Amino acid sequence: MEKTLELKKEVTILFAGDSGDGIQLTGNQFTNTNALFGNDVSTFPNFPAEIRAPQGTVAGVSGFQLNFGSLDLFSPGDMADVLVVMNAAALKANIGNLKTGGTIIANSSGFDKKNLRLAGYGDENPLQARSLDKYRVHEIDVTKLTRSALVDSGLGTKEIDRSKNMFVLGFLYWMYSRSLETTIKFIQNKFKGKQHLIDANVKVLKAGYHYGDTSETFTSRYDVKPADLPKGTYRNVMGNQATALGIVAAAHRSNMQLLYASYPITPASDILHELARHKNFGVKTFQAEDEIAAAGAAIGASFGGALAVTASSGPGIALKTEAIGLAVMLELPMVIVNVQRGGPSTGLPTKTEQSDLFQALYGRNGEAQVVVISAHSPSHCFDAVYEACRIAVEHMTPVIFLSDGYMANGSEPWAFPKSSDLKPIKPKFAKPLENVEEKYLPYLRDEKLVREWAIPGTKTLEHRVGGLEKEKDTGNVSYDPENHEHMVKTRAAKIAKIADYIPQQTLAAGEMDGDVLVLGWGSTYGAIKTAVNELIAEGYKVAHAHLTYINPMPNNIEEVLKSFKKIIIPELNDAQMVNIIRSKFLLPAIPYNKIQGLPFTIQEIKAKVLEILNA
Amino acid sequence: MEKTLELKKEVTILFAGDSGDGIQLTGNQFTNTNALFGNDVSTFPNFPAEIRAPQGTVAGVSGFQLNFGSLDLFSPGDMADVLVVMNAAALKANIGNLKTGGTIIANSSGFDKKNLRLAGYGDENPLQARSLDKYRVHEIDVTKLTRSALVDSGLGTKEIDRSKNMFVLGFLYWMYSRSLETTIKFIQNKFKGKQHLIDANVKVLKAGYHYGDTSETFTSRYDVKPADLPKGTYRNVMGNQATALGIVAAAHRSNMQLLYASYPITPASDILHELARHKNFGVKTFQAEDEIAAAGAAIGASFGGALAVTASSGPGIALKTEAIGLAVMLELPMVIVNVQRGGPSTGLPTKTEQSDLFQALYGRNGEAQVVVISAHSPSHCFDAVYEACRIAVEHMTPVIFLSDGYMANGSEPWAFPKSSDLKPIKPKFAKPLENVEEKYLPYLRDEKLVREWAIPGTKTLEHRVGGLEKEKDTGNVSYDPENHEHMVKTRAAKIAKIADYIPQQTLAAGEMDGDVLVLGWGSTYGAIKTAVNELIAEGYKVAHAHLTYINPMPNNIEEVLKSFKKIIIPELNDAQMVNIIRSKFLLPAIPYNKIQGLPFTIQEIKAKVLEILNA
Amino acid sequence: MTTPTSNIKTAKDYATDQDVRWCPGCGDYSILKQVQSVLADEGVKTEDTVFISGIGCSSRFPYYMNTYGIHSIHGRAPALVSGLRSVRPDLSVWMITGDGDSLSIGGNHLIHILRRNFDVNILLFNNEIYGLTKGQYSPTSPSGQISKSTPMGSIDHPFNPLALCLGADATFVARAMDRDPKQLRSILAAANNHKGTSLVEIYQNCNVFNDGAFFVYTEKQSKPQSTLFLEHGEPLVFGEGNTKGIKLDGFKPIIVDLEADGVLKDELWIHDKHDQVKALMLTRFFDDNQNAENALPRPFGIFYETQRGTYEDALHEQLKHAREIKGEGDLDKLLAGTNTWEIN
Amino acid sequence: MTTPTSNIKTAKDYATDQDVRWCPGCGDYSILKQVQSVLADEGVKTEDTVFISGIGCSSRFPYYMNTYGIHSIHGRAPALVSGLRSVRPDLSVWMITGDGDSLSIGGNHLIHILRRNFDVNILLFNNEIYGLTKGQYSPTSPSGQISKSTPMGSIDHPFNPLALCLGADATFVARAMDRDPKQLRSILAAANNHKGTSLVEIYQNCNVFNDGAFFVYTEKQSKPQSTLFLEHGEPLVFGEGNTKGIKLDGFKPIIVDLEADGVLKDELWIHDKHDQVKALMLTRFFDDNQNAENALPRPFGIFYETQRGTYEDALHEQLKHAREIKGEGDLDKLLAGTNTWEIN
Ligand SMILES: Cc1ncc(C[n+]2csc(CCOP(=O)(O)OP(=O)(O)O)c2C)c(N)n1
Ligand SMILES: Cc1ncc(C[n+]2csc(CCOP(=O)(O)OP(=O)(O)O)c2C)c(N)n1
Ligand code: SF4
Ligand code: SF4
Ligand SMILES: [Mg+2]
Ligand SMILES: [Mg+2]
């Protein structure tokens, strides 16, 4: 049968199924293949909170959204063009995210009586219901087709069923005119030494591909040409992975040992997992007994002259705040990574949110400023955490690095740097005194107000530090009133001065002196940038600025803000950054908030900006 | 010899000596006697950080400042009229706080060679130096006189020397025409059963009194008439004591058990000590293994239907933040007392500061608003903590109660209430369901948005709560996006609604529509009120408003603020409240900050307000 | 702990309407079932019972119990229990925790509740892994354990949980397993009847991240020679048909073959759950390599039980005593203090 | 732990110019002096030594040592030590802590550092009180202790610190006292030479808030009959002129009078510091009432010592191994990952 080939600029596919259905793997494979092909890609995995919730229920649905295209993409797409569902629950959970006119590809054996009941559909199969009329529905009995493909494989049914996802993947490769090569390589690697599993999976993958070719129901294939990305060598990268790589790179470029001390917590644990695999880089990971111990270990390592990083998510960061205060007093470098999740308390552990900004800025006793830096996309995690390490080390201060569940688990193509292109990081280790009669002054400061890093093992620099207020220069304990005020102000001034050592604020989209500035921070970057670009294309005078440096902010930030008539600040929280901007600059910045554990859609941002423009 | 009697309106005496010299006791006795006499009094003890620092050094000096008068007093006085010093170090540490022309009463045996050297005075005795010409210096050899008074007592020298302070006290009673009665009673009580010690101390006390009468060098006596305080029955009270009493009173008035769970920390421990003495009120105190456990125990007790209070200071509060987040989610009542001290980190443990305001408001992960209430003076601790308990219980929410080292250890006369005059506190305990088929809905809310308190032991109300986001009404775990937004907003709205159940903001001094409003919170009350009253007397259009309710603020706060041309916010931190006001109301409030571990003086506030008035 | 009793109930009456969300095959299911049936057997009233947990797969437990319950924060359940029991000694309180929850982040609260001896039944679900966070090693994972956070094997020396608990002066210490429901039920009942903190370590299979960690103790083939069931007053015997026994050679436990060596049962070590030193020795039957020749079997049952006053009883006694000597507190007197004056 | 040595130094070389700020008469002074002289004797280099403490009177210690030092936060010193030793196994690390610091708020970190066996010397200053916060009872205060927070007496059952440490699989456990400088020095030297975590509990008199808590062990009159000095390989003897001894009756220690009962020294319990069970039994010589007839004396000395690999050694081994099998990490390869593509 003749099939037509249609060209698409951009496609959003949403894979959904039981957490046991291999949805994340399918999504990642499809992403890698498209990325390698040259598309720009952006992904958004959405896990259930349960490890493995009861099969077939809505609570157990795992999702993976992928946007790929021949354009520059900054977000995984708002609504899906294609929804792939492995069972009824997956349909129920995700149908709201499918564009009108979109395509549903459904595994029909996932719509049997039991599945319908578990999904809460009652008796009627929705695939046959009128309500789906506005979509194109394709049913494929994936289970049956997979089983018949492997009837002679000698594998048990349970094992056979586990490769269903390969059938779907093969089918989609056919549909989007992609080669099977990357995935075949992946299978060979994954099942190395187990030839029968390699054969089975490849067979099912091909069966899916051929099904597309031969089945009568599918008449259209699509192609999405490579994107016009800047020249360079690319790879695909997830946010937590990029964070781990940025930390390794910082240790490498500064010639320091790395101690990564952490206690597992969703969604930060994957950084630990990734780092633990790189021991041959001299990476030391320490899984501490709790978050307090992890922060304490980082301080100990930092005192010893190592690059010290600790990571957690909100509830764990809460536990670290006392130790962070100590690091402020000791003026030792340390990076604290917070991969934010839905709060408060245990909240929504697998969902994304930006509600720990206040905690990062203000969540300590006493006047205890730290540097706060935020990444804005999966690959930007690399640059931002590298910068966090640089500032910590060169300015002798704790730095909080903010990521979130959305960028941590999302992925995108990354024109990764050469190691030699990375900005050098220069720890200011103190040298032994020449005159042994001299007394070492551990709290003497340079023009940046930064003290030296005098590490044990260095002769003549023996000194003691601690959490009590310290005397200027000597670092001895001091209860003197003026000295205290001096030290509080000096510690704050040291942080403020960092503004002289970071880049000026630029616009991510649009031009200065416009009607509306959309000011963002964190993982809202993609949605805002796309929305603003679309509005500009529609003729509006809007712009987008995105903050990487939150404390201190770039020196020109006030100037940027004041050049716009209105400022709107979209955040995945109940209005935090907006409060800081209002208080700092007395500007009537407008909050726009979403607190649903989900990222903004481009449409949401556009609509809000239009509302403001028309107000 | 004839002595003259001079009438004074107000006197500030500063007692200073080694921490072993009994300075705090002397100060407290003198305070009590004056208070009982009818003066208004206000005190400020100032401890060294060491338990008992090396004798004779400046680090070991303990101070106690007392302002007493026939006027209404709101602060312990800026500069002292009289400085009593037991040794050279005490002089050195405190001479800067004596008014020009003031009186120094010095124990001359505290100025021997050793003491001079330890105080860092070199060889010259400052009492004989020209630099003290601007003061009236009286030397008394207290040690020698005490020893001769007790030469026949049979006590050892060490024991004898321990009663030196009684000599000083006796002498001051003579000087200010006060009776010895209160202190004699105190001595009898303190040394009950040890008649020889009672006799010795009383003897020395009287010796001091008679010394004034007979010594040739003292020709003037003073009198300070009773103050014109509002009618009523008064007692003297310290802030931590008033806090403890307020908590007992709240438990009593609400007919609830009290669990006070705490881990010792300066300057909060005295609340624990006070409460532990009142077991016959059904008060249960639990000294937990750490602050986290204390907060956890409070939550457990609250779930069980008790009034649950936990207390600490900054570093310990840092540790409680995760648990406070849980209480936010569970919507259970709980009061968290923070007796603030100098930060960051261990900081200045025995000094006062107001730098944990940000921590109280923002120091948690996720959107986790709690109520924040602050006391403003020692006796006000009673009212404010009682209010904290009332709001916690009636609005089912954690409440942070802010005190600080200054008011915690300071004291003042208190027209204590009758128990029957206390506002009733009504816990909303849920009743068993009548229809057993019905399902209990633990998160159903009333018009205040408050849920019921369904305590174990009640039939038909079995239910489970937890830190994961909960479904509206049912309280079941829910990962639903809209439900999450609804719940975050509802929890915030519940807190905001409390504004309808608290008094409107009033002015502590001055009238609306003036030139400058001095907005304060916490223990700066006395200094601000006195300064503003003086400025008003001088004809300026200034006023003073003091916030007790920090979150939520009273409904009319914006109106109050906006009726002034300028707002100035003095704080013992690096500008916190001022940021909140600026962000909330976009008003260019002016910060005025002192970060020295010490309270503001009246003069400092006056000077600053004048500067703003003249700007 | 002892608990109030009520009309006859069945295990089902203790279940809630919430879907149980553990992975299919998880050992937690069996434990849930045994707890529900023990509560039924013991006639514990649902309205007088509180389950408090921390965070972890196991800590979801309270959601499935039709009693009062709190799913609290990671590691802190003992703190909540202490507060609750201080004010409500009338309730039956159960604490559910995992090896990470109670021995990693919560280790301090655990040892403190044991020394204070609050009356609570602690069920420690030990699966030697962090389940909820998807497979990092825990403080009970054996050294060398490959896990997400230890791809080259863990280098930590693991805790011996029961040795630690005895070191903290626990008054009731037992070990059970998910796959021996009968013994589990009998231990749970005994724990429930102990006044003071009862700690029951339950070996629980996490079939997703640490499948088979305890198979050597739970599976037919290896169970007889690797497990030792402790019965108070009975000799230590094990092996297929109980043909092996344990004898003490001075302080050294040695395995004897009852048939081949002709040793009589009464020459064997007789289990005495009130003997602390022997209990300590039993906790040291903890050879990591259960496949080694002559490895001591792993004991299951009640290692140690003793009577010591509970914290809450002492607390209530003290309040009573205070009232006896000072009289019931009079708030007006308290507010007035000892020195007052009038201003007219 | 073993430490680098240097040119001869005297105790004075280890002192700083800071005024020592403990109360006059505090037991901490003696301990400071002994530590300084042991460091001198052992020839420890000041620049290669780090003292890390928590918060408490005792935790001021680092300020008085002319080495590197951190006065950290309450209870967390073991965490800082773990991080420091993970990256700097070349240093000599000492940890100073109090009974509140290490057994109340810091209990969890203490048991975890013991099981991990980082190479550090921990000196636990036990004064059975919170000194710095002015006299609340601590987890080692005996029940009934009257203190600021327990005016009617504490109702907590106190920890037996050494039993707890052995329960956490400590590899070196000893007890000393401030008022026996000679034994203290010899124990400190042994601790310094132990590779792994050495825990030394030191009874320290807080003469301001808990004066005399240990006088029964330290004062001439009562010391002989209430203390037992442990020497490896020697029989347990005590009493005036060492005329009493301890014998084992099965598992029960009994006191014998060497003269009156005519017991020979080699019938006595011979101290073997490598025997864990016996060490456990010695930690149970912990009768609270030392004045009781026939109370067992309190042991001082090294209870237990064993060799077990340290955490930092295993960590370094693993890194070495990783480099052996994967080669030194190449950052450019790592950044590129396994799948790259070009856009031209
Ligand atoms: C403060 C904090 N830190 C970390 C976590 C993440 N976390 C949740 S459960 C868990 C460990 C689970 O292991 P375990 O206690 O053994 O329970 P299991 O899941 O195996 O039953 C961790 C690290 C958290 N929720 N809170
Ligand atoms: C987080 C925190 N909680 C509480 C305190 C207050 N605090 C300081 S030291 C201490 C206990 C001191 O007792 P101990 O450890 O026995 O030391 P000692 O003073 O007796 O030597 C306490 C409760 C603190 N500094 N930090
Ligand atoms: S992850 Fe393991 S412990 Fe958790 S529910 Fe699944 S099988 Fe059970
Ligand atoms: S309070 Fe006690 S422990 Fe602290 S310095 Fe004084 S005597 Fe020593
Ligand atoms: Mg586990
Ligand atoms: Mg102590």
Per the omega criterion (within 30 degrees of 0), is the bond before A552 cis?
Answer: yes
Compute the distance between CA of residue C44 and CA of residue C91 in angstroms, rounded to an integer: 10
Within a 10 A sphere around the Cβ of A571, how many other Cβ atoms?
24
| Chain A residues close to D331, C-beta within 8 Å | 248-249, 252, 281, 419
User: Which residue CA neighbors atom 4 of ligand 2 most closely?
Assistant: B265
- Is the confidence at residue B133, as pLDDT, over 90? no
Compute the distance between CA of residue B392 and CA of residue A393 in angstroms, rounded to an integer: 44
The answer to whether D199 faces chain C, any CB pair under 8 Å, is: no
Exposure on the CB side of residue A115, measured as CA atoms within 13 A: 23
Compute the distance between CA of residue B379 and CA of residue C16 in angstroms, rounded to an integer: 50
Banded model confidence at residue D290, pLDDT cuts 50, 70, 90: low
Mean pLDDT of C177-192: 98
* Residues contacting residue A153 through CB under 8 Å, at least 6 positions apart: A160, A196, A199, A200, A203
Express each pLDDT in C46-62 by its tens digit: 999 999 999 999 999 99
* pLDDT of the residue at B52: 67
Mutation target vs B (from D26, D53, D58, D133; most B CBs, 10 A cutoff)? D133
Please, where are the H alpha helices in B375-509?
A: 380-395, 405-409, 481-497
Q: Do C88 and B296 touch (CB under 8 A)?
A: no
Compute the distance between CA of residue A35 and CA of residue A403 in angstroms, rounded to an integer: 23
Regarding the beta carbon of D131 and ligand 4, being less than 6 Å apart is answered yes
* Residues contacting residue B129 through CB under 8 Å, at least 6 positions apart: none
- Where are the extended beta strands (E) located within C135-265? 172-177, 197-203, 227-229, 237-238, 244-249, 252-257
Mutation target vs D (from B260, B273, B317, B350; most D CBs, 10 A cutoff)? B273
Q: Is the dihedral of CA A379, A381, A384, A390 positive or negative?
A: negative
Q: DSSP for D165-204?
A: HHHTT-SEEEEEETT-HHHHHHHHHHHHHSSSEEEEEEE-
Q: In what order do the strands lie in the sheet with B80-85?
A: B40-46, B61-69, B10-18, B80-85, B98-107, B136-140
* pLDDT of the residue at B6: 79
- Give the predicted TM-score (pTM) of the model: 0.92
Q: In this structure, are residues A572 and A537 in contact, taking their beta carbons and an 8 Å threshold?
A: no
Mean pLDDT of A75-104: 89
- Is the confidence at residue A474, as pLDDT, over 50? yes
List B500's β-bridge partners, or say none: none
The answer to whether C104 faces chain A, any CB pair under 8 Å, is: yes
DSSP, collapsed to helix, strand or coil, labels residue A558 as helix
Mean pLDDT of B91-120: 90
Q: Pull the structure tokens for residue A204.
A: 């099912």
Please, where are the H alpha helices in D242-305?
A: 276-283
| CATH number of the domain within which C169 lies | 3.40.50.970
Instruction: Please report where in the chains the tokens 């479904």 appear, as a residue.
Output: B471
Could you give all domains of chain A from N- to C-terminal order, each with its CATH number? 4-224 (3.40.920.10), 236-421 (3.40.50.970), 428-502 (no CATH), 507-614 (3.40.50.920)
* pLDDT of the residue at B1: 46
- Is the confidence at residue C3, as pLDDT, over 70? no
Q: Which of B242, B275, D139 is nearest to C319 (CA)?
A: B275
Q: Pull the structure tokens for residue B499.
A: 């504004």
Rounded to a whole number of angstroms, the distance between the first and last alpha carbons of chain A is 56
Compute the distance between CA of residue A144 and CA of residue A150 in angstroms, rounded to an integer: 10
User: Which residue CA neighbors atom 6 of ligand 4 most closely?
Assistant: D23
Per the omega criterion (within 30 degrees of 0), is the bond before B456 cis?
Answer: no
Compute the distance between CA of residue B127 and CA of residue C83 in angstroms, rounded to an integer: 58
User: What value, to the nearest 5°, has the Cα angle with vertex B31 and ends B28 and B34?
Assistant: 150
Q: How far is the CA of C61 from the centre of ligand 3 (A)?
A: 12
**Mean of the per-residue pLDDT values of chain B:** 93
Q: Which ligand is nearest to the CA of A350?
A: 1
Where b means 16+ CB within 10 Å and e means fewer, A133-169 reads: eebebbbbebbebbbebbeebebeeeebbbbbbbbbb
State how far Cα B573 lies from the chain centre. 17
The answer to whether D332 faces chain A, any CB pair under 8 Å, is: yes
* pLDDT of the residue at A52: 67
* pLDDT of the residue at D199: 98
Q: Which of residues 36-95 of B touch C (CB under 8 A)?
A: 36-38
Express each pLDDT in C194-211 by its tens digit: 999 999 999 999 999 999
DSSP, collapsed to helix, strand or coil, labels residue D257 as strand
A-B contacts at Cβ under 8 angstroms: 221
The answer to whether residue D218 sits within a structural domain is no
Compute the distance between CA of residue B52 and CA of residue D256 in angstroms, rounded to an integer: 46
Which of ligand 3's atoms lies nearest the C-alpha of C125? 3
Instruction: Please report where in the chains the tokens 């057994």 appear, as a residue.
Output: D103
Residues in the 5 Å CB sphere of ion ligand 6: D 98-99, 127
Within a 10 A sphere around the Cβ of A128, how many other Cβ atoms?
10
Banded model confidence at residue A137, pLDDT cuts 50, 70, 90: confident
Q: How far is the CA of C153 from the centre of ligand 1 (A)?
A: 20
Which of ligand 4's atoms lies nearest the C-alpha of D134? 1
Q: Which amino acid is at B199?
A: D
Closest partner CB to B54 (pick from D21, D104, D152): D21
* Residues contacting residue A227 through CB under 8 Å, at least 6 positions apart: A38, A39, A40, A69, A70, A71, A72, A73, D343
State how far Cα C183 lies from the chain centre. 14
- The best mutation among B265, B271, B346 to test binding of ligand 2, ranked by most ligand atoms within 8 Å of the C-beta, falls on B265
Regarding the beta carbon of C238 and ligand 1, being less than 6 Å apart is answered no
DSSP state of C16: -
Q: How far is the CA of D75 from the centre of ligand 4 (A)?
A: 18
Compute the distance between CA of residue A573 and CA of residue B327 in angstroms, rounded to an integer: 20
Q: Pull the structure tokens for residue B43.
A: 């005190």
Q: Do B269 and D133 touch (CB under 8 A)?
A: yes
Q: How many domains does chain C have?
A: 1
DSSP H or E run through A308: strand A307-312
Within a 10 A sphere around the Cβ of D268, how many other Cβ atoms?
19
The answer to whether residue D323 sits within a structural domain is no
Mutation target vs A (from D19, D84, D109; most A CBs, 10 A cutoff)? D84
The answer to whether B459 faces chain C, any CB pair under 8 Å, is: yes
* pLDDT of the residue at A120: 87
The answer to whether residue D306 sits within a structural domain is no
- Is the confidence at residue C5, as pLDDT, over 50? no
Instruction: Please report where in the chains the tokens 């910068």 appear, as a residue.
Output: A387
Chain D closest CA to A274's CA: distance in Å?
11
Where b means 16+ CB within 10 Å and e means fewer, D196-232 reads: bbbbbbbbbbbbbbbeebbbbbbeeeebebbbbbbee
- Where are the extended beta strands (E) located within B381-471? 398-404, 411-414, 464-466
Banded model confidence at residue A1, pLDDT cuts 50, 70, 90: very low
Q: In this structure, are residues C240 and C224 in contact, taking their beta carbons and an 8 Å threshold?
A: yes
Neighbours of chain D (3+ CB pairs under 8 A): A, B, C
The answer to whether B284 faces chain C, any CB pair under 8 Å, is: yes
Q: How far is the CA of D132 from the centre of ligand 2 (A)?
A: 6
Where b means 16+ CB within 10 Å and e means fewer, B203-225 reads: bbbbbbbebbeeeeebeeeeebe
Q: Is the dihedral of CA C93, C98, C103, C108 positive or negative?
A: negative
Banded model confidence at residue A51, pLDDT cuts 50, 70, 90: low
Express each pLDDT in B4-62 by its tens digit: 777 888 899 999 998 888 899 999 999 988 888 888 888 888 877 766 667 888 888 99
**Mean of the per-residue pLDDT values of chain C:** 94
Q: How far is the CA of D127 from the centre of ligand 6 (A)?
A: 5
Closest partner CB to B464 (pick from C63, C81, C325): C63
Compute the distance between CA of residue A190 and CA of residue A182 in angstroms, rounded to an integer: 12
Mean pLDDT of A573-580: 98
Bridging pattern class, strands A334-340 and B542-547: unpaired
The answer to whether A255 faces chain C, any CB pair under 8 Å, is: no
Mean pLDDT of B146-165: 89
The answer to whether residue C303 sits within a structural domain is no
- Domain ranges, residue D191: 4-213
The answer to whether B562 faces chain D, any CB pair under 8 Å, is: no
Which whole-number Å values give the CA distances from A372 to A259, A361, A400, A596, B544, in the listed order? Answer: 20, 7, 5, 24, 36
| Chain B residues close to A397, C-beta within 8 Å | none
* pLDDT of the residue at C130: 97
Closest partner CB to A285 (pick from C57, C74, C149): C149
The answer to whether residue C59 sits within a structural domain is yes
Quote the percentage of chain B above a pLDDT of 70.
98
- Is the confidence at residue B389, as pLDDT, over 50? yes
* pLDDT of the residue at C186: 98
Express each pLDDT in B315-324 by its tens digit: 999 999 999 9
List B13's β-bridge partners, or say none: B66, B82
| Chain C residues close to A272, C-beta within 8 Å | 136, 148-149
Neighbours of chain B (3+ CB pairs under 8 A): A, C, D
Q: Which of C320, D81, C335, A279 is nearest to B383 (CA)?
A: C335
Banded model confidence at residue D291, pLDDT cuts 50, 70, 90: low
Q: Which of residues 127-166 of A touch C (CB under 8 A)?
A: none
The answer to whether B285 faces chain D, any CB pair under 8 Å, is: yes
Chain A closest CA to D302's CA: distance in Å?
28
* pLDDT of the residue at C1: 45
Q: Do B325 and A317 touch (CB under 8 A)?
A: no
Q: In this structure, are residues B119 and B89 in contact, taking their beta carbons and an 8 Å threshold?
A: yes
Regarding the beta carbon of D161 and ligand 2, being less than 6 Å apart is answered no
Q: In this structure, are residues A313 and A338 in contact, taking their beta carbons and an 8 Å threshold?
A: yes
Q: Which of A273, A256, A255 is nearest to A264 (CA)?
A: A273
Banded model confidence at residue D7, pLDDT cuts 50, 70, 90: low
Compute the distance between CA of residue D240 and CA of residue D254 in angstroms, rounded to an integer: 18
Compute the distance between CA of residue A141 and CA of residue A139 in angstroms, rounded to an integer: 7
Closest partner CB to C109 (pick from B229, B289, B301): B289
- Is the confidence at residue A451, as pLDDT, over 90? yes
Exposure on the CB side of residue D48, measured as CA atoms within 13 A: 13
Q: How far is the CA of C130 from the centre of ligand 3 (A)?
A: 9
Bridging pattern class, strands C92-98 and D227-229: unpaired
Q: Do C158 and D115 touch (CB under 8 A)?
A: yes
User: Which residue CA neighbors atom 8 of ligand 3 most closely?
Assistant: C26
Chain C closest CA to B130's CA: distance in Å?
44
Mean pLDDT of A346-371: 97
**Mean of the per-residue pLDDT values of chain A:** 93
* pLDDT of the residue at C266: 85
- Is the confidence at residue C2, as pLDDT, over 50? no
Q: Pull the structure tokens for residue D283.
A: 């930690």
